[in-house]
Amino acid sequence: MQQPRVVTSVAAAPDAAGAVPLVRASGVTLQYKTPDHLVTATYRVSFDIFPAERYVILGPSGCGKSTILKAIAGFIKPVEGQFLLKNKPVTGPGPDRLMVFQEFDQLLPWKTVLGNVMFPMIENRIPRADAERRAREAISMVNLVDFTDVYPHMLSGGMKQRCAIARAMAMKPDVLMMDEPYAALDALTRRKMQDELLQLWNDIRFTLVFVTHSIEEAVILGSRILVLSPHPGQVRAELNSPGFAYDTRSGAAFQELVHKISHMLFGDRAGTN
Ligand code: ADP
Ligand code: MG
């Protein structure tokens, strides 16, 4: 197995030779102003995300991961630095950056898979016929055709995830974002959802920005991992993850990478979660 390589500069991303990043964070400082506090969530964070990457933002609780996603989504403006989307400054929210929430019970229980996938398009005033065509395409892409007319309560967790992703994909976003979607799941279900997500990524090759505080999850899911320091989040490192198939996750290379990141984050107090 190839040794993971530490990437210390944003220019060294795997497929970067001249390519325009989908998302570029350049020197981004994010803050919250409350009546009596100024909270700095991230400090001068820079990274590039390229098409079809599984880009994982990893760091301990409170280091600003969710804040970064909210800023990519355009809900929070940096006080320093900026986010670029395909070279254009992010100025507000848009359907080109979509968040896929877990609690896949986000699906409307009274609508079928087709109805759920069409819903955001209808809300965005896309003509019904177009919305249906795009919804059916997306449903086929995630392999749910046989369940097109089924209601969410008939779907497994994995199928709900696929439905939620189809719903986002039908909007043709540039990036899909997920914020600790599996944090509340038991270990077995979590593993299943991770495998499903990887399988789906393998089929569709969308650009994924995935936030987690679990080192193992980052190593399992990421093609690249941005390691953030504890509060306020600063970039500790950017690592390539070689991708670990199910049966290599207990192997030496996997453990070594988990350990290395653990050490980066916690030094001698290293734990893996
Ligand atoms: P993470 O997702 O990595 O756990 P967050 O991005 O949620 O971290 O939070 C980063 C920091 O910003 C934390 O210190 C948190 O307490 C603070 N924070 C988050 N949301 C708000 C808010 N709405 N108002 C004030 N401070 C906030
Ligand atoms: Mg968070």
> What are the pLDDT digits (tens) for 69-127?
999 999 999 999 999 999 999 999 988 999 887 665 689 999 999 999 999 999 999 99
Our answer on whether the CB atom of 41 is closer than 6 Å to any ligand 1 atom is yes
Mean pLDDT score, 232-259: 89
Asked if 65 and 229 count as a contact pair (C-beta separation under 8 A), the reply is: no
Q: What is the pTM of this model?
A: 0.89
pLDDT category of residue 249 using cuts at 50, 70 and 90: confident
Mean pLDDT for the chain overall: 89
Q: Kindly report, residue by residue over 37-48, the tens digit of the pLDDT.
A: 999 999 999 999
Query: What is the Å distance from ligand 1's center to 78 Cα?
Result: 14
The per-residue pLDDT for 175 is: 95
Our answer on whether the CB atom of 67 is closer than 6 Å to any ligand 1 atom is yes
Ligand showing the shortest atom-to-Cα distance for residue 71: 1
pLDDT category of residue 270 using cuts at 50, 70 and 90: low
Atom of ligand 1 at shortest range from CA of 213: 3
Ligand showing the shortest atom-to-Cα distance for residue 233: 1
Atom of ligand 1 at shortest range from CA of 39: 26
Pairing of strands 97-99, 175-179: parallel
Please say if the pLDDT value at position 157 is more than 70. yes
The per-residue pLDDT for 61 is: 95
Ligand showing the shortest atom-to-Cα distance for residue 35: 1
Our answer on whether the CB atom of 64 is closer than 6 Å to any ligand 1 atom is yes
The residue nearest atom 11 of ligand 1, judged by CA position, is: 41
* Helix ranges, 206-270 (H): 215-221, 252-266
The residue nearest atom 21 of ligand 1, judged by CA position, is: 32
Q: Which residues surround ligand 2, an ion (CB under 5 A)?
A: 66
**Could you give the dihedral angle defined by the CA atoms of residues 253, 255, 257 and 259, in that order, rounded to the nearest 10 degrees?**
-150
pLDDT category of residue 17 using cuts at 50, 70 and 90: low
* Helix ranges, 65-170 (H): 65-72, 113-123, 128-141, 157-169
